């Protein structure tokens, strides 16, 4: 895997590390070196790793807020429309707009819509489901879901240069550096 013989288009260069500490340190150095199109892969969430590669904020909470609000408005307006406008019924002499009774369904649908949008929003923002991704072409990457840590500098980065980037990554003392075929 670690020779230059691959001829096809290249997705980037992958460095493999043994520990979370090494990966975070390497990610910091690579980002400081000026690389931006890069990603780090680990078998569990590592605190500070996303920040190290320059990813600070995600929009999942915004999606959940919007989803929850849609649920809230849907539920309350549906109940109002049913109970007051289209199907008014006298239940024990209560007013048609008996809002305390409508709170439960409003609450439940807020949670339902918010919860579903958090899962769907997270997957959509992550671009999942994605059956194919170039990193899977490297055989060692199978350990990324077990015990190994990977850093990938993508060839689309303006600073990317096959030889220079490889020697830079090698300077970070990885277990190996491999070319990722696209």
Please list, in sequence order, all residues whose beta carbon lies within 8 angstroms of the beta carbon of residue 166, skipping any fewer than 6 positions away. Answer: 13, 177
Whether residue 129 is preceded by a cis peptide bond, meaning omega within 30 degrees of 0, is yes
> Which residue lies nearer to another protein by CB, 39 or 157?
39
Longest CA–CA separation in the chain, Å? 83
Residues 51-60 as b or e (16 or more Cβ within 10 Å = b): ebbeeeeeeb
- Told to check if 143 binds another protein by CB under 8 A, we report yes
The residues that bridge with 10 in the sheet, in sequence order, are: 181
CB of 179 to another protein, least distance (A): 17
Q: 3-state DSSP: the chain helix, strand, coil percent, rounded to 5?
A: 50, 15, 35
Which region, judged by CB under 8 A, interacts with another protein, from 1-9, 106-114, 162-170, 172-180? 106-114
Count of other CB atoms within 10 angstroms of residue 116: 14
* Residue 107 CA from chain centroid, whole number: 28
Which region, judged by CB under 8 A, interacts with another protein, from 3-11, 130-138, 160-168, 173-181? 130-138
Which region, judged by CB under 8 A, interacts with another protein, from 9-17, 95-103, 153-161, 163-171? 95-103
Size of the site for another protein (CB under 8 A): 69
Distance in angstroms between the alpha carbons of the first and the last residue of the chain? 14
Which region, judged by CB under 8 A, interacts with another protein, from 5-13, 21-29, 164-172, 174-182? 21-29
- DSSP label at residue 147: T
Q: Which of 77, 126, 156, 182 binds another protein (CB under 8 A)?
A: 126
Q: Which of 13, 15, 53, 178 binds another protein (CB under 8 A)?
A: 53
Contact positions vs another protein (CB under 8 A): 19-21, 24, 27, 39-50, 52-53, 55, 58, 60-61, 64, 68, 78-79, 82-83, 86-87, 89, 91, 94, 98, 101-102, 104-105, 107-109, 111-112, 114-116, 118-119, 121-123, 125-126, 128-133, 135-136, 141-147
């Amino acid at each position: 895997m670690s020779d230059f013989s691959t001829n096809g288009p290249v997705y980037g260069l992958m460095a493999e590390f043994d520990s979370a500490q090494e990966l975070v340190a390497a990610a910091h150095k690579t980002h400081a070196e000026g690389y931006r199109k890069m990603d780090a892969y680990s078998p569990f969430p590592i605190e500070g790793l996303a920040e190290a590669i320059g990813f600070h904020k995600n929009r999942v909470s915004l999606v959940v807020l919007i989803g929850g609000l849609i649920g809230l408005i849907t539920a309350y307006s549906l109940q109002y429309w049913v109970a007051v406008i289209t199907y008014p019924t006298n239940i024990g002499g209560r007013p048609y707009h008996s809002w305390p009774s409508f709170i439960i369904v409003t609450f439940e649908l807020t949670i339902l819509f918010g919860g579903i949008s958090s899962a769907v929003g997270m997957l959509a923002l992550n671009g999942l489901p994605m059956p194919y991704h170039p990193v899977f072409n490297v055989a060692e990457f199978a350990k990324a879901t077990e015990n190994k840590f990977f850093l990938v500098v993508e060839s689309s980065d303006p600073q990317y240069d096959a030889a220079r980037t490889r020697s830079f990554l090698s300077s970070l003392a990885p277990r190996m550096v491999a070319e990722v075929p696209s």
